[in-house]
Structures are given as structure tokens and as C-alpha cells.
């Protein structure tokens, strides 16, 4: 059975390899053309469009994907174009999700929601809620919360009449119900709606691949192993064709898990190791610990304890590394918080000093003004007193001369 499955896979891979090569060539031609155009484009919104397109074409190359996203974000913030900031934050969400940094995912999803509300754009708001659903689901495994966010996104889209990417929301709700292992009929209902919206649409091959994977997982939960394997392999074929390595590993892991549960250990080992090859080649960390755990379990069942122990140790080391990374992040956050508190205290002290300085200057100016007016009043009083004294003296002299004149007139009259 294992060799038959392997033969079928190789035939399908061989048939699609020519198509893959042609697609890869066309993609590289697009990248080269855009890079040439980028050199001639000024720092404007046209450059933003090119950078976003380059990021999209380099989604499987996380280094270049982040490089173009960084440049797009810097330019969007410089030009103050919030819609392009929203797009760049979406790319960061994909990057951090693929590198396992879920705290950052929540941070950028919050930024997207903040921009959407500021722009009062319901469709952008729906996209941000979908991000929260993804990270609380596949990242943090809090599935009841992820369903709430996904349904919030779905209701906004249905209310606004915008059906763009609505199939993805259907799939996300289905996957969360499956992970909860509750309401599996609802899970099938939502994923079937997602698949129906993508069938016979060449532009939605990538989504269709994901939806096939989701349905395979739901069927596996229902223990319909043959149908589950069939849908997962449909997904796998499309992912090989699309060179979608970021989620290819997840499908391999799930196939490995199914074959292990069915006691088909050779097939299980093959798919787990295929997943591991992609981790090591593409440096994608998503689900890596699950791969180590799966291999350790399968190899132990195959009576190969030394190899099983090796992968078990890799899993434990990975967990320790994740714990160390989390602790380091917490320390960094604490340091940042302390630095922010110190900065706030300094700012308050500076503001107080500034207030006191101006208050002192103001009081000083009032005192100087009052002193100036007091001096003026004293001077005026002295001048007025001097004038009054002179007037009194003048009056006395006038009265004296008047009396003399009256006396003289009296003497003349008597003679």
C-alpha cells in the first residue's frame, strides 16, 4: 500500500513538475520586471504597489518577503497612506505566523484593526478580525475565541455585501469547529461552502488546496480515513503545483498522523520526513515540533529507539528554546515597560520644571512691573508735592504784594 501511494505521488509530481517549472520561470520573470521598474520609480504610491507585489511574489522566501514589506511599511508611513500600512501589517502577520511569533501576530492584527476603525472601513475591519481568529486558533489554540472572531468577520462581510475572501472565513470557522471536536456537521457545512466557491476557479487554487486540507482533517476526526486521505492528497497535489511550502508541511504532518493511527508506519515515516525536509530546506518553523513528536512516536513503534530518542530530544530542545524565547521576550517587554515608565517620569519632571520656570519668570516680571509702577507713583507724588509747595509760596507772595498795594492805596486816599 505504501509503495503504491509513493508511486502515485511520484507520477503526479512528475506530471506537475513541468508546470511548476514554467510557473516558477514566469514568477521569476515577473520579479525581475518589477525590480527593473522599481529602480525607475519615485518614492510615491506607485512604488508602494510594486513593493507589495514583490512581497506577494516572494511569499515563500521569507527573507525577501520581509525585506520588501519593511520598505513598503517605511514608505507608507512616510507618505501617510494608512491603507498601505494596513497591507504591510497584513504581510507582517503572515511573516510572524510562519516564524512562530504569535505575540507579534496579535500586535500587528491590533494595528490593522486600529487603522480599519479609523478609516471606518467595514471590509478592512473584517480582515483584521479574521487575523485575530487565525492566531487564536492555529497559533494559540483557543478555538472558541477564534470562532467568535471569525463569525464577527463573516457577519461584517455578509452585512456589507462584500463576498471577497468570504470562502476563507467559511474555512476558518470549519477548521476551528474541527479543532474543538464539536459541531462537526457545522464544520462540514462551512468547509463545503468554501470549496464550492473555489471550484473551477484557476485564481483560487491556493485557497482550494487549503480547503481540501481542512475537509480531510474533519473527515479524519470523524475517522473516515479513506476520504480524509483522499482530500489531503488533493490538497498536497495542488500545493506541490503551487510550490506553497509554508503550509505544505502541515499537510504532510497530518497525513503522517493518519497513517500512524492506521498502523501504516512506513507511510507515516515517509510523510513526517518529507515535512522535516521542507523545514530544514526552507527554514519554516511552523509545526516543526509536531513533526519531531510524530517521528519519535513512529520510530519507537518501529523498534528504532535510538532514532526515536533523537527526535524526542529535538522536540524537547525546541520546547526549551521556545520557552527561553518567550522568557526573553517577557524580559524585553519588562525592560521596555520600565524604560517607558522612566521616560514618563522624566517627562512629568521636565513639564513641572518648565511650569515652575515660567511661573518664576512670571512672578518676577510682576514684581518688576509693580516696582516700576511704585517708583513712578513716588516720583509723581514728589513732583506734585514740589508743585504744591511752589504754588503755596507763589500764593503767599501774591497775597503779600496785594496787601502792600491795598495799604499804599489807603495812604494815597487819606492825603
* Domain 28-142, architecture per CATH: Alpha Horseshoe (1.25)
Q: In angstroms, how far apart are the furthest CA atoms of the chain?
A: 171
The CA distance from 413 to 299, in Å, is: 158
Each residue's pLDDT, cut to its tens digit, for the chain (415 residues) gives: 444 544 444 444 454 444 445 666 677 777 777 777 777 777 777 888 888 788 878 777 788 888 888 988 888 888 898 999 999 999 899 888 888 888 899 999 999 999 999 999 998 999 999 999 999 988 888 999 999 999 999 999 888 887 778 898 999 999 999 988 888 999 999 999 999 998 888 888 888 988 999 999 999 999 999 999 999 989 888 887 877 766 777 788 888 888 888 899 998 888 888 888 877 766 666 677 888 888 888 888 888 888 888 888 887 877 655 555 544 554 554 555 566 567 767 777 777 788 878 878 888 888 888 888 888 888 887 877 877 777 777 777 777 777 777 776 766 666 6
Whether 136 contacts 110, CB under 8 Å: no
What residues does each domain of the chain span? 28-142
Rounded to 5°, angle at Cα 22 from 16 and 26: 140
H/E stretch holding 388 reads helix 305-414
Question: Could you tell me if 150 and 130 are in contact, meaning their C-beta atoms sit under 8 angstroms apart?
Answer: yes
Amino acid at each position: 500500500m505504501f509503495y503504491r501511494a509513493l508511486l502515485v505521488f511520484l507520477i503526479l509530481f512528475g506530471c506537475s513538475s513541468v508546470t511548476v517549472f514554467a510557473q516558477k520561470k514566469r514568477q521569476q520573470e515577473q520579479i525581475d520586471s518589477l525590480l527593473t521598474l522599481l529602480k525607475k520609480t519615485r518614492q510615491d504610491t506607485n512604488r508602494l504597489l510594486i513593493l507589495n507585489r514583490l512581497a506577494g511574489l516572494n511569499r515563500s522566501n521569507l527573507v525577501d518577503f520581509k525585506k520588501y514589506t519593511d520598505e513598503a511599511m517605511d514608505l507608507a508611513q512616510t507618505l501617510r497612506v494608512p491603507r498601505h500600512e494596513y497591507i504591510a501589517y497584513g504581510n507582517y502577520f503572515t511573516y510572524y505566523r510562519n516564524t512562530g511569533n504569535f505575540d507579534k501576530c496579535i500586535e500587528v492584527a491590533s494595528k490593522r484593526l486600529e487603522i480599519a476603525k479609523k478609516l471606518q472601513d467595514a471590509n478592512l475591519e473584517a480582515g483584521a478580525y479574521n487575523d485575530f481568529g487565525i492566531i487564536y486558533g492555529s497559533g494559540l489554540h483557543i478555538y472558541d475565541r477564534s470562532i467568535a472572531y471569525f463569525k464577527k468577520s463573516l457577519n461584517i462581510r455578509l452585512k456589507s455585501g462584500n463576498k471577497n475572501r468570504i470562502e476563507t472565513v467559511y474555512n476558518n470557522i470549519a477548521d476551528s469547529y474541527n479543532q474543538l471536536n464539536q459541531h462537526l456537521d457545522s464544520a462540514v457545512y462551512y468547509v463545503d461552502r468554501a470549496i464550492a466557491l473555489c471550484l473551477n476557479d484557476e485564481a483560487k487554487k491556493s485557497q482550494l488546496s487549503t480547503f481540501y486540507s481542512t475537509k480531510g482533517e474533519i473527515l479524519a476526526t470523524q475517522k473516515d480515513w479513506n476520504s480524509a486521505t483522499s482530500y489531503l492528497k488533493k490538497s498536497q497535489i495542488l500545493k506541490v503545483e503551487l510550490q506553497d511550502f509554508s503550509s505544505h508541511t502541515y499537510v504532510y504532518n497530518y497525513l503522517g498522523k493518519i497513517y500512524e493511527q492506521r498502523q501504516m508506519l512506513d507511510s507515516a515515516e515517509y510523510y513526517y520526513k518529507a515535512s522535516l525536509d521542507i523545514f530544514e530546506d526552507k527554514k519554516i518553523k511552523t509545526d516543526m515540533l509536531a513533526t519531531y513528536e510524530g517521528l519519535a512516536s513512529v520510530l519507537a513503534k518501529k523498534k528504532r529507539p535510538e532514532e526515536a530518542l533523537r527526535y524526542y530530544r529535538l522536540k524537547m530542545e525546541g520546547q526549551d528554546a521556545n520557552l527561553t524565547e518567550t522568557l526573553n521576550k517577557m524580559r524585553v517587554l519588562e525592560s521596555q515597560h520600565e524604560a517607558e515608565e522612566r521616560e514618563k517620569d522624566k517627562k512629568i519632571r521636565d513639564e513641572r520644571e518648565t511650569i515652575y520656570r515660567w511661573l518664576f519668570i512670571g512672578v518676577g516680571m510682576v514684581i518688576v512691573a509693580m516696582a516700576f509702577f511704585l517708583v513712578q507713583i513716588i516720583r509723581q507724588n514728589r513732583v506734585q508735592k514740589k508743585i504744591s509747595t511752589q504754588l503755596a509760596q507763589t500764593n503767599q507772595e501774591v497775597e503779600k504784594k496785594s496787601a502792600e498795594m491795598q495799604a499804599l492805596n489807603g495812604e494815597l486816599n487819606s492825603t
